[in-house]
Amino acid sequence: MGLVSGIKKALSDSKNKSVDKANDIMGRVVPGYNYHKREVRLSTDASVRDKLSRETAKSRRLLKEIGELAYKEGLREEIEHIKDATSTLEMLGMELDTAEYGNSPFFKEEGVGFNDVRSMIEFDASLFDGMEVLTEACDLLYKGVLDGKTSDFILQVRKIKKNTDNLRNRFMDRRDFLLRLS
């Protein structure tokens, strides 16, 4: 879905064309997105993480709002689960903000293989898609609370937490990929 399907379609083309197409698609989310040119690789990565971090903050804010409502109604159990999800989101945000792998050869070497660029684009696309789903899910949860539909509230909060965990894992995989290159 979303960016992932577009990127997969673009990357199925011949090498140079496919990267150009993928850059165009990703450029709509992060202006100037380009891992092909060495001089902008590091700034592209920083912009990607910055964008993801902002998305995390949106979800966190929504969960905080829901948590405050639960607190006002004295729902201890619900608050505990919201705290769990929020702290996972906070951790993801911190990891995004403080990632240090500028020494990876991916950012230093002139010629980086097509497959490496392709993997990075795929990682970024899946993270953007996942983060967008997460924000939308938090928004739906908030709407559900406002409508009084809270019978399965805890289950949905756990799902959001699980989804955040998946995104963290995905981001870890991205980091491992970059470090493995060295």
Partner 1 sequence: MDSNPNSRKKFFRGEGEIGDVISQAKNLLAESEGLSLDLQKLSETTVEFATLVEEAKYKIGIRERLGQNVDAFKKKIGDLTATWKETRKAELTKKEAEILERADALERERADFEGRMEGVEEEQRQKLSSELESLRVVQEQVQSELGELSATKATIEDILSESEDEVRDKTLSVEEVEFLKVNYFNLVHSRIKQGLKSPITGEHHYGNWEMKEGDGRLSATIKTGVKRRVAIRFDLRFIPSEDVDGFIYKKIGLDSLEEITGYLADKKDKDAYHALILVSPTGWTNGVSQRAAALFDNQTSVYLVDLMGRTITFNNGDKKTAEMQEWFSPVSLEEEVNEVKARLQKEAAEERTSQFRADKVVSQYGVPRKIVVATFKAMEKEGSGSIIDRSEGAKDLIFLVGGE
Residue ranges that bind partner 1, judged by CB under 8 A: 1-2, 69-70, 73, 75, 78, 129, 132-134, 136-141, 144-153, 156, 159-160, 163
- Nearest distance, CB of residue 122 and partner 1, angstroms: 18
Distance between CA 165 and CA 83 in Å, rounded?
14
- Nearest distance, CB of residue 153 and partner 1, angstroms: 7
- Nearest distance, CB of residue 99 and partner 1, angstroms: 25
**C-beta of 161 vs 174, nearer to partner 1:** 161
**C-beta of 31 vs 74, nearer to partner 1:** 74
- Residue 65, CB half-sphere, CA atoms under 13 Å: how many? 15
- Nearest distance, CB of residue 139 and partner 1, angstroms: 8
Q: What angle do CA 59, 61, 63 make, to 5 degrees?
A: 70
**C-beta of 106 vs 153, nearer to partner 1:** 153
Which token pair is 41?
């690789």
Distance between CA 142 and CA 152 in Å, rounded?
13
85 in Cβ contact with 4 (< 8 Å):
no
